[in-house]
Amino acid sequence: MSVKYIPVQWNFNKYFYDLVLLICVAVYILVFIRIGTPEAGVTRPIDGAIIRMRAFGTCAFLMLTVILCIGPLARLDRRFLPLLYNRRHFGVLTFLVALTHVVYVLNWYYAFSDISPVVGLLTTSETSGQLLGFPFEWFGMLALVILAILAFTSHDFWLAFLSAPVWKRLHLLIYVAYAAAVAHFALGYLQDATNPFFMIVAGGGAVMVSVLHLAAGLKASADGEQAHKGEWIEVGDPTVIPDGRAIIVRIKGNERAAIFRNGDALSAVSNACAHQNGPLGEGRIIDGCITCPWHGFQYRPEDGCAPAPFTEKIPTYDLRLEGDTLLIAAKAHPPGTKVDPLTVPERDA
Amino acid sequence: MSNKRDDSFFIGWAAPPSPLRWFMVAVAGFLIVLFAFSAYVIAATQADPGGGSFRFDWGRQNVVGVLSLDPYPVIHVTESERFPAGHALLLSGNGKRGVQERAEPLDGQLVQASGVIINRGDIDMLQVRNGEAGLSAAEGDAATPIESEDLGRWRIAGEICDGKCYTGAMRPGQGLAHRACANFCIIGGVPPIFVSTVPVEGEEFLLLAGPDGGPIPDELMAQAAILLEIEGQVERLGDLLVFQVDPDTISVF
Ligand code: FES
């Protein structure tokens, strides 16, 4: 695969998405500092820097929780797909919010001393082996470093450079970051906090992330229950595929195919878009071409080639009918291989 | 041809179809409410950091008293406008620094000191000014040696804090989140204190000392800011309790 970077244009959706994100963060910080904190019963006010480090820290945690809910939500209900589409901006913003938290911590807890903050960070948080008092700062740093790597490599250039599968695997590190963030909170703030609310928010978030992932996983494996017949995989009744749309079949492991219907012609291609692995089967046929739902790359159904002047190609699959049942070949053709479309059997839908 | 299901189709570059658009607006609204609500609940339930603070409102304090160096520099007041004779003032420098070096040549002598007070309940710390004006020998003799009384061996539950932040230099100035800062302070020479969960001889805090009566050993640093139980000798020095702890007797809750 050539290293080629195709920029995705800015458009209204992106502006809307980013605007909502910025509003969420701004609202969180303002409500925390201006409205919530004055309601806390205190003898004397909490230090401004400490209020801010709490505001930004908890905000980053909430953002991370929401980010991790988007994936399974989109799998459970396709209407959430637009959220998935621009998730990277969400990630970068989360990194910036977390970084702000760290800057406040360093400029307060690690300042006003002859010891440099970096040296202090590495030496003052000694552990005595017990869980209580384990340097929770280390977990926070781990989460921040991961978020930094992900934010830095979030640009499309890196996606093209690393290739989509590698990039995707790298970005699964977000789960490690979340686990580290949970540990950071559990060992740090939670043990200090004398009220249960933060525990409820943090614990509830972590539980929700897990439950959603489980639910989406169950749904995927239920959808993927295909009967295997030798080299062919049974798909079912082809007439249920709506015109211009596709159904997604699992071939094996992570490999999925999308079977499209264009009029009465059926064609099967890989479900992964050549651009960024977008789910082609969730797209539809526009102007005779399969159109990716993510950034709109297009492919001809019969050979998986993007129309000229574009050069992207995706793998295709053989299809055949056994009675009224549609079967798909378990082995894909190389990208761009022409396969004659199968005609949908005549029947009134 | 196109049926209802098509309505929810979304392409990155195209304007979303209108039912989907309303769905997105609803999601956006939900997120904003979620963020606002979480922020409010978490912020409004923050714990009370206590009533300690810098007393800039008292103005600069000038005191005369007897300085004792071990385990950490303390002035036992003989003359002051605000404090009664015999009151102990813990000493610190600016930021997370102690005044050991400046106090060393003055051990046991009558000194004058000047600076701003940090106060929380019974605890008073004097953050001394820089230079001679901050801390120097005073005319006269340390007439009476500071009274000390052995109160026996105690096992006390509480938290190791730095005497400056806990007293009000930071609010809150204790707890795990503040632990690294407490370590910075103690390493820098700020007197560490033990904040007891129940009053000991009427006092809620004790000045910490190592087993030999000097500064606390480094190994105690890792135990700062957590609730623990520790054993040691308690001594009354003027109106201040000093707790000579034995690090081997720690048990963490
Ligand atoms: S993933 Fe970008 S267009 Fe398909």
Say what the pLDDT of residue B180 is: 82
- Chain B residues within 8 A of A195 when measuring between CB atoms: 45-47
* Number of residues that make up chain A: 349
In a domain, B130, yes or no: yes
Q: β-pairing, B203-209 with B240-245?
A: parallel
pLDDT of A168 reads 77
Residue B30: inside a domain, yes or no? no
Same domain, B159 and B125: no
Predicted local distance difference test score (pLDDT) of residue A195: 59
Q: How many domains does chain B have?
A: 2
Q: A130 pLDDT band (50/70/90 cuts)?
A: low
* Residues B123 and B57 grouped into a single domain: yes
- Best B2, B40, B46 residue to mutate vs chain A (most A CBs within 10 Å): B46
Residue A56 has what pLDDT?
95
Q: Which of ligand 1's atoms lies nearest the C-alpha of A292?
A: 4
Decide if B154 is inside a domain: yes
Range name among A54-68, A113-127, B43-57 with the lowest pLDDT average: A113-127
Is-contact B61 B125, C-beta < 8 A? no
Task: Check whether residue B132 and residue B152 sit in a common domain.
Answer: no
Contacts with A, B 170-229, CB within 8 Å: 170-172, 175-181, 183-185, 187-188, 219, 221-223, 225-227
Give residue A346's pLDDT band: very low, low, confident or very high (50, 70, 90): low
The radius of gyration of chain B from alpha carbons, rounded to an integer in Å, stands at: 27
> Looking at residue B2, what is its pLDDT?
37
Q: How far is B218 from chain A (nearest CA, A)?
A: 10
- Whether the per-residue pLDDT at A22 is higher than 90: the answer is yes
B152's CB contacts (< 8 A; 6+ apart) are B233, B234
A279 lines ligand 1 (CB under 6 A): no
CATH architecture label of A228-343: 3-layer Sandwich (2.102)
Query: Using one digit for the tens of pLDDT, what is the confidence trace for A68-84?
Result: 888 888 778 777 877 77
In a domain, B71, yes or no: yes
Query: Nearest by CB to B171, which of A46, A127, A242?
Result: A46
Q: Which of A11, A78, A192 sits opposite B176 (nearest CB)?
A: A192
- Domain boundary among the residues B137, B157, B191 is at B137
Comparing A187 with A140, the larger pLDDT belongs to A140
Select from 1.10.10, 3.60.90, 1.20.120, 3.30.1910 the CATH code of A12-222.
Answer: 1.20.120
Of B183, B212, B214, B205, nearest in space to B73 by CA = B214
Listed by start position, the domains of chain A span: 12-222, 228-343
Dihedral sign, Cα of residue A239, residue A241, residue A245, residue A247: negative
> Which residue intervals of chain B are DSSP H helices?
18-44, 100-103, 131-134, 179-188
| pLDDT confidence of residue A349 | 41
Establish if B184 belongs to a structural domain. Answer: yes
- pLDDT over 50 (residue A228): no
Q: Are residues B85 and B168 in the same domain?
A: no
Q: What is the ipTM of this complex?
A: 0.85
- Asked if B12's CB is within 8 angstroms of A293's CB, the reply is yes
Is there a shared CATH topology between the A12-222 domain and the A228-343 domain? Answer: no
Q: How far is the CA of A297 from the centre of ligand 1 (A)?
A: 6
Pick from A250, A224, A263, A254: nearest CA to A328: A250
In a domain, B163, yes or no: yes
Q: Are the CB atoms for B234 and B151 separated by under 8 Å?
A: yes
Q: Do B170 and A108 touch (CB under 8 A)?
A: yes
B137, B168, B185 — which closes off a domain?
B137
Q: Are residues B125 and B160 in the same domain?
A: no
- Residue B21 counted as domain residue: no
Which pLDDT does position A33 carry in this prediction?
Answer: 94
Window 282-311 of A: residues touching B by CB (8 A cutoff) are 283-284, 291-296
Where does A268-331 have alpha helices with state H?
A: none
Contacts of B28 in chain A (CB under 8 A): 16, 20
Residue A133 has pLDDT above 70, yes or no: no
- Are B12 and A27 an interchain contact pair (Cβ–Cβ within 8 Å)? no
Residues B171 and B236 in one domain: yes
pLDDT reported for residue A236: 80
Same domain, B161 and B247: yes
Please check whether residues B103 and B75 belong to one and the same domain.
Answer: yes
pLDDT score recorded for residue A194: 60
The verdict on B157 touching A (C-beta cutoff 8 Å) is no
Q: What is the pLDDT of residue A230?
A: 54
More confident residue, B65 or A223: B65
What does pTM read for this prediction?
Answer: 0.76
Q: Which residue has the higher pLDDT, A9 or A316?
A: A316
Q: Let me know whether B100 and B165 are in one domain.
A: no
Residue A306's nearest CA partner among A319, A292, A321, A327 is: A292
List B119's β-bridge partners, or say none: B53, B124
Cα–Cα distance, B169 to A288 (Å, whole number) = 71
Q: Please tell me which of the candidates A47, A111, A125 has its beta carbon nearest to residue B171.
A: A47
Q: Is A168 in the pocket of ligand 1 (CB under 6 A)?
A: no
Q: CA-CA distance, A94 to A148, in Å (whole number)?
A: 10
Query: In the predicted model, what is the mean pLDDT of chain A?
Result: 81
Whole-angstrom distance, CA of residue B96 vs CA of residue A115: 9
Q: Domain end: B112, B137, B162, which one?
A: B137
Domain encompassing residue B122: 53-137
Asked whether residue B104 is domain-assigned, the answer is: yes
| Ligand 1 atom nearest residue A273's Cα | 4
pLDDT at A163 over 50: yes
B159 and B219 in a single domain? The answer is: yes
Q: What is the edge-to-edge ordering of all strands in the sheet holding A298-299?
A: A284-286, A289-291, A298-299
* Per-residue confidence (pLDDT) for residue A32, from 0 to 100: 94
Regarding whether B166 and B70 lie in a shared domain, the answer is no
A294 within ligand 1 shell (Cβ under 6 A): yes
What share of chain A in percent tops pLDDT 90? 23
Q: Rounded CA gap, A251 and B225, in Å?
A: 56
The CATH number of the domain holding residue B73 is 2.40.50
Relative to the CA of A297, which ligand 1 atom is closest? 3
Q: Walk along chain B (253 residues) and give the pLDDT tens digit of each residue.
A: 333 334 344 554 455 566 777 888 899 999 999 999 999 988 988 888 888 889 999 989 899 988 888 889 999 988 888 889 889 999 998 888 888 888 888 888 889 999 999 999 888 999 999 888 888 888 877 666 777 888 889 999 998 998 898 898 888 888 877 888 888 888 888 999 999 988 888 888 899 998 888 888 888 877 788 888 999 999 998 888 999 999 888 888 7
Q: What does the pLDDT average to over A83-97?
A: 85
Give A 129-148 residues with CB within 8 A of chain B: 130, 132-133, 136-137
What pLDDT does A110 receive? 79
d(CA A135, CA A129) in angstroms, rounded, equals 10
